[in-house]
Structure 1
Amino acid sequence: MLPRARRAGTAIGGGVTKPARTRVAIIGAGPAGLLLGHLLRAEGIDCIILERQSRAYVESRIRAGVLETVTTDLLRRLGIDARLNAEGLVEDGFNLATDDQVIRVDLKALTGKHVTVYGQTEVTRDLIEAAPERGLEIIFEAKDVELHDIESDAPFVTYVADGAARRLDAAFIAGCDGFHGPSRKAIGAGAEFERAYPFGWLGILADVPPCHPELIYANTADGFALASMRSRTRSRYYIQVPLTDRVEDWPEDRLWDELERRFTPLADRPVVRGPALEISIAPLRSYVFETMRRGRLFLAGDAAHIVPPTGAKGLNLAASDVVYLADALIARLARDDESGLAGYQARALERIWKAERFSWSLTRLMHRFPDEGAFEHRMQVAELDYVAGSRAMQTAIAENYVGLPL
């Protein structure tokens, strides 16, 4: 049960506070929350973002870096694209590989579109840096965030900042705070779907040139491997590892040896070694929380769904959620039109499930599953052979990879 509303000026967590007020309270300063805040401010709608972590922490998080045109178009629409245009790498294709063949999927020829390699870390920094001049307030290190009275017409949020308990009243609350944030929990019970995968991705980031000009997703005898990049001088590599593995099990030399072994037969250039900027292991799962609304609270991004990184959909799916939610909130707050909010969940879920399907299918195709044997691997080889010789199959993959229409 949600806590009851407290009167303005009464004690909250041991202090006395005068409530602040905004039209939309946004929980979370990841890309979803930041993009939503910028879209609302572009239409003159007041909003405040509450973020649990410090600005330095948020700007240093290492995340994905393949942007669909939906996302790059959104950044250009907001006028927050100077570094994207200068530093983003336009990729007209990507590669699916096995131990002995590389299948290039020509995105430009098949769809007329491309993807852009530009790290989520850089997107986040750009959005934060642009916030002050756009009048977008971000409160970092907002601890103990709680949502109250979300089914009333006067929801509010309480939190602690600078050692003081505070309250923020709003007309609507947008939960953009990820799977572990308070927003999804405030929804309560809902329709939930999950698929956990029996492996993780061990990743290394290093300031070395990539071994190939385009991404390579490889299904090798030793499992999945990915060669990608953040720039022409910074590479990001991953390999499939058991969930029981730890980072400590993989000294840098061992990881570089494994990457050399997997990519030497496939890449244009040798794998160049260098000191790791970051090494981590991430589990993989598919997850959808279909109840994206309760009263005046709406979920967007990882608060409502998680995709395996195989299809490069996480940030891009958050961006499409935000476009739908921003349109709906603007219609309601600027024109008193409720239809967008009423249809937000259905509209978002239609695209979410298609992205989940693509990420799931590519994960199934490119990884070795420990509970499967020779037959299942032969099915993977047969499908990759079919992809190699079928323009129709490559087109279907390309359409999903560049992003389905909004």
Structure 2
Amino acid sequence: MNTYLIKGATLVNEGQQFIADVLVKNGLIEKIGQSLSAPEAQEINAEGLYLLPGMIDDQVHFREPGLTHKADIFTESMAAVAGGITSFMEMPNTVPNTLTQDLLADKYQIAAETSLANYSFYMGASNDNIEEVLKTDPKNVCGIKVFMGSSTGNMLVDNEKTLENIFSKAPILVATHCEDEATIRENLAKFTAQYGEDLTIDMHPLIRSAEACYKSSSLAVELAKRYQTRLHILHISTAKEIALFDNTIALKDKKITAEACVHHLWFNDQDYATKGNFIKWNPAVKTAADQAGILAGVLADHIDVIATDHAPHTLAEKQQSYSLAPSGGPLVQHALPALLEMHLQGKISLEKIVEKTAHNLAICFDIEKRGFIREGYWADLVLVNLNDPFKVTPVNIFYKCGWSPFDGETFQASITHTFVSGNLAYKNGKFVTSEIGKRLSFTR
């Protein structure tokens, strides 16, 4: 394993910025200090660059197995590394759904052979697999995923007894997709009765409404409080939901945490006019007031982490009519550049970005020796240039699907280097594909 000496970078870590050298050896951060020397190391001149802990993405859909015409673990982990994401946690709505421990093991085997980033996979819950769920090992699996609203795939958990079983018995963190299915169906029936088959994308946030989100999220919170469950609610999309989450408790002591996604921070319902189905997600992108409320919730620590919900579909699938086009879009390559753009616009500090994309993920999920720039921790590191603009075009997109909701956007900041467990996996548009990321472990 190579040794690297990163010289003169501005570190952004644990609420501070300071210039230092970082020595990376045997996959770990061996030393942080001034005027370090290591004759055996490959030296990287990082003067003028910012060194961040690698982003940890707690919600991705990499589509393998079964949907590899859209994406696969190799291609999407490559795009993630190019975007400064060094670790990911992947969802169970692949084909077949990850509803048994054997199927979960199969996904880990694929990643062990092909993933350029560090990895973990959620165990999926259904209405009838509680025995398999309870076998999940807290030490080497990130969590249990519960779809409390239907999305891509057929994993809706809507049986009240099943939900109570999961929340009362789950051995580890339960991550939920919260949209009330009955409310959505009722809204869809109303719009279909009025417009027939001529539904359009601007109706999406009205069908998958704020009320549907709040009703489901509040139910999840109520169940978690009743059973003292470790609950993590994914992709908050409304301002109203922010009040469900306490910002007066230290994160390490929270039993209920929440996630915001980059697309809900960047887009609002006015963007449907130009972006159409390319910003069709579940939960839906909603109003500018919701967008502002989510950002306020992030800044005030009601929302604990920022992720992507990376969920690619083919261009042909997205170019269908609203009713036929699937929800979801690719984001891992451009999430960190988008957040850095928001920083440059004065909306969020670098320290807060690092907190919400790295530090807090490590705390929320009890990830072992990752998420911080600390001696003795794994060297998951990203060098960024805040003054190196690039335009997103199909030519520089690494997603297998070949498109991005940010197509045509110019970002002012670029990722120059990404280290994954001490390996220089990405440098200025080039990849090292001979080294594989590591399976995440958890101190539970």
Q: Which has the higher strand share?
A: 1
Give the TM-score normalised by structure 2.
Answer: 0.24
Q: Which has the higher helix share?
A: 1
Give the TM-score normalised by structure 1.
Answer: 0.25
Q: In terms of Rg, which structure is larger?
A: 1
